[in-house]
Amino acid sequence: MLRSRITPCLLVHRKGLVKTVEFKEPKYVGDPLNAVKIFNEKEVDELIILDIDATIEGRGPDFNFIKNIAIESRMPLCYGGGITTVEQAKKIISLGVEKIAISSAATENPQLLVEIGNAVGVQSVVVVLDVKKKGLFKNYEVFTHNGKRPVGKKLTDIVSTLNNIGVGEIVINSIDEDGKMNGYDFKLFEMIRELTSCPLTILGGASSFENIKEAIKRYKPLGVAAGSIFVFKGKYKAVLINYPDRIARNEIY
């Protein structure tokens, strides 16, 4: 049976751990490997690591980096960035990563998801949909390449395709709310929830652990991911890796 999960999402840019606001102005917040070590001690449910440079630079995954992260990680790990082939996915899984996160390649070639699922298991295939409002009527649209390139397909059609394929998980990431810490876009999430039976994770805008608790209470079971609240502390956003302890998590679940 699925259970709710609280998942830090770490962004890697130029080998460093960064945090963005609306996918812009990446702010350096530390060393990714050091962050993994701290999250190990905090016994997090799982960890998402996204290389935000790979697709932009037109390159594949950095296998040496992934290997070092996987060796250090004592929690389930999901990695994304530059994955465009079955061979790359198999290599990443062989390094000790549990899940493969795919974004641009998933919208360009949905058949790739089927092929990767056949190779490593459907449960290991995660699709990240970066979504923001556009136009006069503020319709939700999917973007790739760090929010710079519109997919050109209806969000509902993309989700329908993913549902028919039967991917292991869909991460709904709000570009509009990214890094703002104003709360999740529940309207966006509810729309997606009506379109698919695939396991879902919400990402973008988490304001507090109470906001995470609200999301889980509304949509349980649910994956709840966040970035800023796990790397910043206080109104001045001092860099501090943090995560609710086991007692607090039990109250949230």
Quick one: tokens of 72? 């250090």
Catalytic residue of the set 45, 51, 53, 130:
130
* Cβ contact 169:185 at 8 Å: no
Q: Is 130 a catalytic residue?
A: yes
Instruction: Locate 184 and state its tokens.
Output: 């999740």
Q: How far is 215 from 203, CA to CA, in rounded Å?
A: 11
> What is the C-alpha to C-alpha distance for residues 44 and 36, in angstroms, rounded to an integer?
10
Q: State the helix-helix crossing angle for 186-193 and 155-165, rounded to 10 degrees.
A: 50
The greatest distance separating any two alpha carbons of the chain, rounded to the nearest whole angstrom, comes to 48
What is the set of active-site residues? Answer: 130
